[in-house]
Amino acid sequence: MKYIDYYETLGIPRDATPDAIKKAFRKLARKYHPDVNKEAGAEAKFKEINEAYEVLSDPEKRKRYDTLGANWKAGQDFTPPPGWEEAFRGRGGGIHFDFGGVGGAGGFSDFFSQLFGGMGMGGMGGMGGMHGMGGMGGMGGMGGMGGFTPHGQDAEAELAVSLEELYSRAPRKVALGVPGADGRVERKTFNVKIPLGAVDGTRIRLPGQGPGGGNLYLALKVLPHPVFKVNGHDLDCTVPLAPWEAVLGAKVRVPTLDGPAVLTIRPGTQNGARLRLNGKGLPDRQGKRGDIFAEVRVVVPAHPSEKEKELYRQLAEAGRAPDRP
């Protein structure tokens, strides 16, 4: 088994802040997303990026990973230190998940499974940690705690889905081991269909599939998306504009869940303006779709050519500066 340097995968230092980790992930995910990049190896790279983000964005997983130290190099043969499992066994035990692919990206690596196999998934893997509920109790520990804690006959787990899967509602095959009444772990496979109107946090009830014949509840966790931020049934995104497009108006292509759409930019559109694409978001329980809100970001050239500089000088002479306090 080879050691994977997750910091190297995201191109960040080991002391990177959570914001820096998220920024690096979004940048790389946009570049290698299988729906955008059709080059050979892009899908595998996308899976590596998501695995790195799964670990480094989770404080518990990152702390556990960092205990290995900074002396390992990517590609070196790796064996977990003695006592690794005992030191990080977490709360309880006995639940095991098969990490199925999401959006065609495949499961996590053997390295990840060796270190975090019982800790749950927040990234491109299949199921998260499973927890006893004590009857119809709360959603404690949905952030990726590993293990199974029996407090009654009902249990719940976390199911990570991509935004595209949430929209298409394509059935998902989920395999996991559930403790039976005699304490033995029984392997079960479920075909899970995402209900109409589901959003992040929606719970799916599988009656009779929990420990001892109780109910199993699956809580959906929507994975980070390289373009959209999910806000209920609405989607937020950013649309970069050239200065002349904002001044003169334009028609620009923007992504949607149904493919590209054309967004009309009115003359004089200001930086930060929020433009709406009606009915292009996620459907609610009645099938009515939310909207896409595109925030305008006017982008100036970081390294303008001499001709561009000259044109901007002419604009400065003919134009008016904005009022300032």
Answer yes or no: are the C-beta atoms of 101 and 51 closer than 8 Å.
no
Around Cβ 273, how many Cβ atoms within 10 Å? Answer: 17
Question: What's residue 233's pLDDT?
Answer: 95
The span from the CA of 243 to the CA of 241, in Å, is 6
Give the residue-averaged pLDDT of 29-43: 81
Q: Is the pTM of this model over 0.85?
A: no
Question: What's residue 305's pLDDT?
Answer: 94
Q: pLDDT (tens digit, 9 = 90+) per residue, 166-188?
A: 999 988 887 766 666 666 667 77
Name the CA dihedral angle for 33, 34, 35, 40, rounded to a multiple of 10 degrees.
Answer: 120
Residue 223 token pair:
């994975």
Q: pLDDT (tens digit, 9 = 90+) per residue, 47-60?
A: 889 888 888 988 88
Answer yes or no: are the C-beta atoms of 58 and 50 closer than 8 Å.
no
User: 287 pLDDT band (50/70/90 cuts)?
Assistant: very high
Question: What's residue 33's pLDDT?
Answer: 79
Q: Which of 77-81, 242-246, 309-313 has the least mean pLDDT?
A: 77-81
Give the residue-averaged pLDDT of 63-79: 76
Comparison of pLDDT for 127 and 189, the residue scoring more: 189
| Whether the predicted pLDDT of 95 surpasses 50 | no
Answer yes or no: are the C-beta atoms of 81 and 6 closer than 8 Å.
no
Question: What's residue 181's pLDDT?
Answer: 60
